[in-house]
A = this chain, B = another copy of it.
């Protein structure tokens, strides 16, 4: 019997990365690892579901990074279809229920270290009809399969109609998927513009592009009901002033941290309901309870506050950090700058740092600069337009955020700003960045540099025109 036991709740990215990394540090003689997963899959890419549904990826197998068997080969005692129903911190144990054997009695498993990686649950507003057949979420592979089965059943006759509720990342990615399957797609969102992860002026560019792609985009619309037909099946999405017929309704409203167990155990939660941890991903106030992935809040390095950001790339990093900590190593997750990238058909959408509203609510004052440029030298074939918006702090000129909307070559340019934000650079410092230049890759001034130059000028102008600046 091993000296210590690690119990992991949740078999997706954060939990299983933690388990695998802990295993690299400690062999089975030193550390027993037991992981509980209530679903049918481990370590899968939920982010890939829209592409599977859209038909550009073969699923679900391709989306699974590591199967239960592969985990077990690494001496991880992985128990599938087993739900943890209680965390007993005093006695250092968790209660579990075998979902595959409904009559079985609950069991208790003790732990020396506990990793909470319970993920997130999709937002599902309590609307009439929301639970009707024909309404689909896209949170996990089971959801993806169910949606795909339903889509295939509907396809074949006249062009079918799909309504996507929510125009955030999941919403626009699902809109793309449904367009690719030949659906007539309507996206309904309550915000002023789609992609409310962008400022409205940048979101408007997404709106215009979505219209250009033939996606009907209904803005500032509050969904009041999912109407059902005589058979109780969803047939339309009703808003305060319209009704949008639908053969299929897809919910793309984002997610909330799934922390029911943690809340019941009295663990500290942030404003979003996500667990609060220290920099080593240990739950605040706990010695041997760790948490990572979509169920935690992370430190936003720009605003100085914790936020909930559900992203597989963060979950993987959390897992690595936790596994090192549990294994007796040392690693930290210093925080995020809020980078995200997405696409809808050939439109690329990216942001990092703070939006205007986020900066204001963090107490920051700023200037903005928006520029248009191209992905390559203007004369080079395939040069595509992009718009870059930059926020810089007043007076200091510190970079606060960047948003990019464009075509091929636009999205990943946000990484330049993500690193600059992490380093605390000013926009003037950014103007001197030695970025890769050759005509097939960039104009002689990379679009991010053009934005930095304009932002630098705006900072100077602001100083000049402000009494305090003289």
Contact = CB atoms under 8 A, between A and B. Distances in A.
Nearest to A382: B56
A49 to B, nearest CB: 10
A411 B377 contact: no
Given A57-B380, A419-B435, 4 more contacts: A47-B439, A311-B437, A340-B436, A352-B436
Interface residues of A, number: 66
Nearest to A349: B438
A418 interface: yes
Contact of A436 (B45, B415, B434): B415
A419 B432 CA distance: 10
This chain's copy number in the assembly: 2
A3 interface: no
A422 interface: yes
Interface stretch (A32-40, A221-229, A329-337): A329-337
Interface in A310-358: 311-314, 316-317, 332-334, 336-343, 348, 350, 352
A380 B418 contact: no
B381 A57 contact: yes
A458 to B, nearest CB: 15
A56 B412 contact: no
8 contacts: A48-B380, A63-B379, A332-B432, A339-B437, A412-B436, A418-B433, A419-B423, A419-B435
8 nearest interchain CB pairs? A423-B423, A341-B436, A313-B437, A62-B379, A419-B419, A339-B434, A336-B434, A337-B434
A420 interface: yes
A13 to B, nearest CB: 7
A440 B51 contact: yes
A342 B411 contact: no
A277 interface: no
